[in-house]
Amino acid sequence: MKIGVLQESYPNERRVALIPALVAQYTKLGFEVVVQSGAGFGAFHTDEAYRAAGATVLPTRESVLETAEVVLTVRTAGANPHFSDDLPSVRPGQIWIGFMEPLFRPQGVAQLAERGATAFAMELIPRITRAQSMDALSSMATVAGYRAVLLAANLLPRMFPLLMSAAGTVSPARVFVIGAGVAGLQAMATAKRLGAAVSGYDVRPATREQVESVGAKFVEIPLEVAQVETAGGYARALEEETLRRQQDLLGEYLVQQEVIITTAAVPGKRAPLLIPRRVVEAMPPGSVIIDLAAEWGGNCELTQPGETIQHHGVTVVGAVNLPAAVPVDASMLYSRNLYHLIAHLQKVGMLSEPNPEIPDEIARETLVAYGGRIVNPRVAQNLG
């Protein structure tokens, strides 16, 4: 079985789905690896490195797609606006694996299904213990949380740490992180290491211990919500009235901050709006907002995905695809997530004969398209 690795076509995407160091491990599983020339350049992996590892380097994208039975990508289908360019080369029965945005932008995987391809979406890896090594969302969220703090530190017109000198004392920057998922906790930990005074908030009160474990102060907002978490461990969308009250209560804290990093997202839905325009206008001039939910609508009313704007002296960054800014480590982590998933899918027989009814939870949950139709119930529901 041939595994094909494409050069990413998403704008400014520098990651690659398979690093040379893992080629030999795929070979041990019985796969042959073919790589598009230049696929690893963004992550500083040369064609020569892939050849030395045992892969075959092909000159064009089309030649890889014509040859490969399994196609590995970072961003494809709904996660890549240029995916339509690949559609004519998609073959019935060809297996595609990568980030696909199946819940938020399901039309992309619907197009794969129409071509008869089999699709496994990395976003749908279940949050269970035996799937942790495959959890690419968490891996990339770790990178994004770290990178968000460095971006904020670069934009803030003052320093993060407490500093004392003969000329006076510099007080620490005040950093507030919304969302205590993987990205949020990494952002809190990184800001704390840089010396900032860090606070964190999450609608899930149970995250207090995690927030405090990375050195941040947990901000508790009295919201009466019956169920704030899904079975998969993600935050649940709030009712409109509750969301408005959350905005008001959060605003009291936000206007005192110098850096705000937002990470709040709900799978398959628009990101909750937590920072209205009036709050931004009340923040100290020079403050910075890094919105990691920009790609899903943004947590800030003023967020423009992929853009950095200034409003009333506040810099608002619509952060999109931050892991691509750290391509070496992000590619290594993502490649390992993919490898563990593929090894598992091979073990349970899902590569040779995909089966939507397989009892294995990992294989069943990640399988989105098979046999010309959408087989994941949540994705099918979002498609109507």
- Give whole-number Cα distances, 247 to 175, 252, 273, 277, 283, in Å: 18, 9, 8, 11, 15
- Predicted confidence at residue 164, as pLDDT, reads 93
The pLDDT assigned to 221 comes to: 84
pLDDT of 369 reads: 97
234 vs 272: CA distance, rounded Å: 13
Residue type present at position 200: G
How far does the chain reach from its first CA to its final CA, in angstroms?
Answer: 35
User: What CATH number should be reported for the domain whose range is 142-325?
Assistant: 3.40.50.720
pLDDT, one tens digit per residue, over 204-217 is: 888 999 999 999 99
pLDDT score, position 260:
98
pLDDT digits (tens, 9 = 90+) for 277-328: 999 999 999 999 999 999 999 999 999 999 999 999 999 999 999 999 999 9
Report pLDDT digits (tens) over 121-134. Answer: 999 999 999 999 99
User: Would you state the pLDDT for residue 205?
Assistant: 86
User: Which run of H or E residues covers position 291?
Assistant: strand 288-291
What pLDDT is stored for residue 231 in this prediction? 53
- CB within 8 Å of 255: residues ≥ 6 apart: 279, 282, 283
> Which is it for strands 217-218 and 197-201: parallel, antiparallel or unpaired?
parallel
Q: How deeply is 320 buried, as exposed, middle or buried, from its count of CB atoms within 10 A (0-12, 13-18, 19+)?
A: middle
pLDDT tens for 174-214 read 999 999 999 999 999 999 999 999 999 998 888 999 999 99
**If you classify domain 2-135+327-383 with CATH, what class do you get?**
alpha beta
Q: What pLDDT, in 10s, does the model give residues 325-364?
A: 999 999 999 999 999 999 999 999 999 988 999 999 999 9
- What is the mean pLDDT of the segment spanning 223-231? 58
On the 0-12 / 13-18 / 19+ scale of CB atoms within 10 A, 278 is: exposed
d(CA 281, CA 382): 36
Domain 2-135+327-383 identical in fold to domain 142-325: yes
pLDDT score recorded for residue 88: 95
Reported as a single tens digit per residue, the pLDDT across 64-101 is 999 999 999 999 999 999 999 999 999 999 999 999 99
Amino acid identity of residue 25, one-letter, is Q
pLDDT of residue 367: 97
The reported pLDDT for the residue numbered 142 is 98
Domain residues of the chain, as ranges? 2-135+327-383, 142-325
179 contacts 185 by C-beta, under 8 angstroms: no
Minimum mean pLDDT among 61-70, 191-200, 217-226, 374-383: which range? 217-226
Q: How confident is the model at residue 230 (pLDDT cuts 50, 70, 90)?
A: low
**Are 131 and 260 a contacting pair, CB within 8 Å?**
no
Name the band, by pLDDT with cuts 50, 70 and 90, for residue 235: low
The catalytic residue positions are: 127, 132, 135, 138, 234
